[in-house]
Amino acid sequence: MTSKKHVIARVSDSSDRFIKAWSNIQFDGYAKVLNGGCGECVIRYAVPFDYDGADLREGNQIDLLLGDADTLADPTSDFGARLLYRGYISLIERELSQNDERVTVHILGHYTLLSLDILRESDVTTLYSADGTGVEANLSNSSGDLAPGDIAQMARSVILYFNDQAGVNANKLYFLAEDAPDLGATATYKFVQKTYREALDILKSLAPANVYWSIDETGRFRFKSIPSAPTHEFVFGKHVSKLRVERSLEKLRNVVLVWNGDAIYANYEDSASIALYGRRAERINDFGIADTDAADAVGAKFLAENKDPSMKVIATIVDNASSDGANEITVDRPVYTVDDSDSACDAGNTLTTSGDQAAAQTFESNGGTLAQARFRLARTGSPTGNIYAKLYAITGSFGSTSTPTGSPLAVSEPVDVSTLPTTAGDPADFAQTLFRFTGVNQYAMSAATRYAIVLEYTGGDISNYVWYGVDGSLTHPGNLSTFTAATWTPNGSADLTFAVYIVTVESLTISQATGTDIEDIQPGHTCRFVGFSSTLSDIFKDNMLITEVRYSLGSVELTIELNKSGILDIQAQQGRRISDIGNGGLGIPDNYS
């Protein structure tokens, strides 16, 4: 037997005096973010358009309470419910139409109050780092110079100052001893008319890597290092119903200029990132930076978090207590199968306008819809333009003289060659690179039919060209050929390093009774994904930081942002679905991005 999830709202006035409980509400969800708190929550209150009760007032306090099978079984829960969201009414919308009337209530988390007042001690709005007390209004040494303070202790001071000055909102935020322990890292800083929120963000920028701050739905404040071991473990086919991976250059910055408005002006660069992506600069003007050590800390942390393409993993996690009382949900998922491959790579050849413009490997298909191809690629110099994968029929003797023939049967989406890693020809530098076939280019290959998978690049010059990996063991039954001066020539010295994938769509039934208690997942927690055989050297780590939790009844969407570039390389055995490996999976292909 299952218990349907339900939400009620407990309404109090600004002094926390109880007014009324709302049970006739529609709740859609909200987001919790790292280095922040609970975002806006919108509910629909089922009352007439002109309802004007004391419970429906701007500034009233709202506690959203959730009841489900977990809370009913928990003897510590509040009357069989747990706190889901706590905040205050910021906006009331009333809408009347010919056949409908509604009242929509917007609620903001209490952490938003940190942006609405200035960090102060009484009327003093210039505060200083201090040794032993964190932050204070007076310089802490007799010489009149600023003294360094422990960064976490300064963060605790900011929250204590907020509670001292918050009036009716005092003590809406709190922390326990383990929530903001001393970091052993100090900084010298002068806070001049900074909001409480700005002060916390400044302290995060001064803190060592992997230190974050957050405020959860109860108002609990944390300023600490990420956990050293995963807080959650999610199994494909059990907890995970959907997964997406994104990679972007949009926020990449590899040069930062830090100025304190006075004598401290410093330039910080990451030469490796500049060599790959060119200069992408940012300015930080912070008049509170008091010495070069603080400037160095800000510059080093900024580069560490921004010098590489941003990586983002978005995963939908199902709950173990469903929103409608059902035990199962069904989702469609693609399953990618290796049709044929040669994974060894012990040497490399090049593609350029003045030399070989294409390379092909012939193979025999098991039949199925072409979806993706993978090759190991790199570049020398700064070639420009796009490289493509193409599928052809073949002519000649398979395994010795076979070459592509006719027009392409399918053409992949382009890959920008400037995004490839650089190399002087060492195959260890070559990166797994994925080519997607979409729409009409998802060609239906026939079983026991031989094809050629082709890499084609018509750009570059003698100094700027593309490398592709080859296997000199000659164990693949097909053969390599190259295209030069409008002619295909068989090459018996190596095979192309490649993989060709077909795709099918299957329905996956996930038991929500074996999911996870999604209300326990917080930004600042870490996680790992299991349930497939994998080599996840650059994206999927054993301990990945959750930066955003988008909550809705029955599931959460997690965002995991990585400040390191890389590729997803889930290895599948030839002829086996990834979902057949380990404990089941979503069938995610090699180099998915």
Mean pLDDT for the stretch of residues 545-555: 85
The domain defined by 250-308 folds into Phage tail proteins - 2 layer sandwich fold (3.30.1920)
Extended beta strands in 121-189, E state:
126-130, 134-136, 149-150, 186-187
Do 343 and 313 form a contact (C-beta atoms < 8 A)? no
pLDDT of residue 533: 44
Closest CA to 30 of 217, 191, 266: 217
Helix axes of 196-206 and 151-165: crossing angle, nearest 10 degrees: 170
Instruction: For the chain, give the percent of residues with pLDDT over 70.
Output: 84
Please write down the HEC assignment for all residues of 434-472. Answer: EEECCHHHCCEECCCCEEEEEEECCCCCCCCEEEEEEEC
> Tokens standing for 177?
């001893």
Q: How does the average pLDDT of the chain come out, rounded?
A: 83
Dihedral sign, Cα of residue 334, residue 335, residue 339, residue 340: positive
In the structure, what pLDDT confidence band is assigned to residue 437 with cuts at 50, 70 and 90? very high
Q: CATH classification of 6-110 is 2.130.10, yes or no?
A: no
Which CATH number is correct for 116-225, 3.40.1350, 1.10.3470, 2.30.30, 3.55.50? 3.55.50
Closest CA to 147 of 157, 155, 138, 156: 138
The helix/strand/coil state of 573 is: coil
pLDDT of residue 282: 93
Q: Would you say residue 11 has pLDDT above 90?
A: yes
In the structure, what pLDDT confidence band is assigned to residue 63 with cuts at 50, 70 and 90? very high
- What would the pLDDT profile of 564-592 be if each residue is shown by its tens digit? 332 333 222 222 222 222 223 333 333 33
Q: How long a stretch of residues is the chain?
A: 593
Domain range summary for the chain, segments of one domain joined by +: 6-110, 116-225, 250-308, 344-496
Name the DSSP class of 416.
Answer: E
Phi and psi based region of residue 576 (left: phi greater than 0; alpha: psi -120 to 50; beta: remaining): beta
- What would the pLDDT profile of 493-525 be if each residue is shown by its tens digit? 899 999 999 988 776 555 544 556 777 888 999
Model confidence, pTM: 0.63
Q: How far apart are CA 115 and CA 213, in angstroms?
A: 15
pLDDT of residue 589: 33
φ and ψ of 378, to 5 deg: -160, 180
Q: How far apart are CA 174 and CA 164, in angstroms?
A: 12
pLDDT of residue 562: 62
Do 570 and 535 form a contact (C-beta atoms < 8 A)? yes
Do 521 and 232 form a contact (C-beta atoms < 8 A)? yes
- What would the pLDDT profile of 148-194 be if each residue is shown by its tens digit? 899 999 999 999 999 988 777 778 899 999 999 999 999 999 999 99
How many Å separate Cα 403 from the centre of its chain?
42
> Tokens standing for 170?
């005092």
pLDDT of residue 333: 63
Helix (H) or strand (E) holding 153: helix 151-165
- What would the pLDDT profile of 236-257 be if each residue is shown by its tens digit? 767 887 878 787 888 899 999 9
pLDDT of residue 331: 55
pLDDT of residue 256: 94
The helix/strand/coil state of 287 is: coil
pLDDT of residue 236: 72
The domain defined by 344-496 folds into Jelly Rolls (2.60.120)
Mean pLDDT for the stretch of residues 216-235: 89
pLDDT of residue 381: 94
Q: Which strands form 126-130's sheet, in the order they lie side by side? A: 134-136, 126-130, 190-192
- The HSE-up count of residue 490 (CA atoms within 13 Å, CB side) is 14
Mean pLDDT for the stretch of residues 313-323: 73
Q: Would you say residue 536 has pLDDT above 60?
A: no
Tokens 């009716």 correspond to 168
Closest CA to 413 of 384, 383, 438, 393: 438
Please write down the HEC assignment for all residues of 15-42. Answer: CCCEEEEECCEEECCEEEECCECECCEE
In the structure, what pLDDT confidence band is assigned to residue 80 with cuts at 50, 70 and 90? low
Q: How far apart are CA 261 and CA 169, in angstroms?
A: 35
